[in-house]
Structure 1
């Protein structure tokens, strides 16, 4: 691999002249510039990003930790992050934690040792290990909706309570009075807020929240499947169910199909996140939209602002959810 010294030797100039040509930091005559550029091309020389980062004290690389980039919701947010990084001239180092705390800590250490300029966190069931930032107290951080809320970091968050309320109000407007809810893991902010929105809408409609119709899930396919199976095993079933994310809604649809319960004729369901797959399910899933690509882009913009203004006040931005009505919910056809 060619070095800057090889380029300078072949072009018969100093290494500082090559550096000025590359970085346009000083005037170099057109003749010498053309000669250096031709040698760079002939030798396939690529400047060292590491050397540049040591000199200017930035790597133009952002790190991101997600529970699993294979999950469609996370994947769509990551796509927004990556696109915005590209537009801003940054690289993205993506790490999957797979729900493992030790893996999260290891990935965090790796990103910090590589001197990424900042980190976006988007992790569900995990909490950061104690003292993980003690040796790096000034690293800029943004939480993209998922993560510990007590960290000294900027936050981009979903308006989960409003979203849960919108989903439930939709079912109430269709004439449903017996409405259940499949929640995310109790204690997680996203799960708790969406459940709170469900309960608010039920209360405002004068409807009873039946505890046996509230089942805890895990935000994954299997959790939605088992939670819906539990609801279907009850002597009396709800006529509609709000499900706290689309992954669980897909698992619930499988359980309903296995039990020969028609959706929406025998049970209406509403999901949350409006992942791209929601449009292609049968029936197409009514869901609460989170602007996932927008969330990713906003997380990058917020992180870059933090990098440039490290002492500015903490920023908490809340996105506004919207209901997308499709085929999985319909008006109640019987009392």
Structure 2
């Protein structure tokens, strides 16, 4: 490996012009496969590593790098979403820079600054809130942004969401159909679009069944297990506790189950449970969990597709996609 290898040296060794090496790097132009293979072989042997930022400054074009900033890498939904983003990006010859902001405003800002420093071609992000000023500022700088899973109110940005309201409504309607009239909900953050939509679906199902909405049966968590446990304890401690619980995501469901098992309650005979998100081992729990399964991989793939299209066609109208979740009925309800 040679230090500080540049395009000129690669071109000389491969016996081609600098422009041919550049077209090979950017996967553009008409180059024979034999020449392309020879150039890449020379690059590998010489240890050439292209500088993305320098390439972009020289060409005024793409550095073939997109950012994905997610709120919780421990959440299986976002792991599947990230795989969908990565697979589609790779098909387009783009690499993905993955960051985890942990539902923290300062960390979100830090990673947005990282994306600026890396001169990414665009980002995919579930905004921290439906008014997220940091994401709006980033988008105002001209960098393509696709909102995924969550949306920003009145923002003219591409977005890919799941129909959270319909999914929650179907889940709660299923509990009603099983004879439950006291249904508690561990909802998501009130400031997030997913939190509000899933709560709206819960209320829709109650209204359609002619059941009252009781504010004391709803607690807002933060999409993490501990909040699920704490709020389940609160709901189960009511003078007239719910006979069924609906958790607005899989991680809070884990905490909810911990609280239920700590009380020795049998599922579903003494308490029925349903949650948003299909956890990796949900089907082998005892009993298996009834869940609202989100098409996470497809959401990520669609978001990456929109971002690549936006990079190619910056001036097109914003696109909004809504994917449908699926109620998977198992033994917990």
Indicate the TM-score class for this superposition, using the shorter chain for normalisation.
0.7 to 0.9
- Alpha-carbon separation, structure 1, partners of 2:81 and 2:233: 30
Output aligned runs, 1:83-232, within 5 Å.
Answer: 83-125=87-129, 127-129=132-134, 132-133=137-138, 137-232=141-236
- Alpha-carbon separation, structure 2, partners of 1:267 and 1:37: 61
| Cα contact 1:202–1:208 (8 A) shared by 2 | yes
Count of residue pairs brought into register by the alignment:
326
- Alpha-carbon separation, structure 1, partners of 2:163 and 2:156: 20
Counterpart of 1:333?
A: none
- Alpha-carbon separation, structure 1, partners of 2:258 and 2:169: 25
- Alpha-carbon separation, structure 2, partners of 1:27 and 1:221: 53
Output aligned runs, 1:245-324, within 5 Å.
Answer: 245-324=249-328
Counterpart of 1:332?
A: none
Residue number among 43, 48, 66 corresponding to 2:46 in the alignment: 43
Deviation at 1:113, TM superposition (A): 2.9
Q: Secondary structure at the match of 1:129?
A: helix
Across the aligned residues of Structure 1 and Structure 2, the Cα RMSD in angstroms comes to: 2.8
Counterpart of 2:77?
A: 73
TM-score, reference length from structure 2: 0.87
Q: Secondary structure at the match of 1:263?
A: coil
- Alpha-carbon separation, structure 2, partners of 1:96 and 1:34: 36
Any stretches of 5+ residues in structure 2 without a counterpart? none
CA 1:34–1:318: 2 relative to 1, 3 Å? closer
| Cα contact 2:157–2:318 (8 A) shared by 1 | yes
- Alpha-carbon separation, structure 2, partners of 1:152 and 1:274: 31
TM-score, reference length from structure 1: 0.86
Deviation at 1:95, TM superposition (A): 1.5
Q: Which has the larger radius of gyration?
A: 1
- Alpha-carbon separation, structure 1, partners of 2:28 and 2:148: 37
Deviation at 1:218, TM superposition (A): 1.7
Deviations 1:236-283 (A, max 9, x none): 211111211111111100000001011111110110022324234332
Deviation at 1:188, TM superposition (A): 2.1
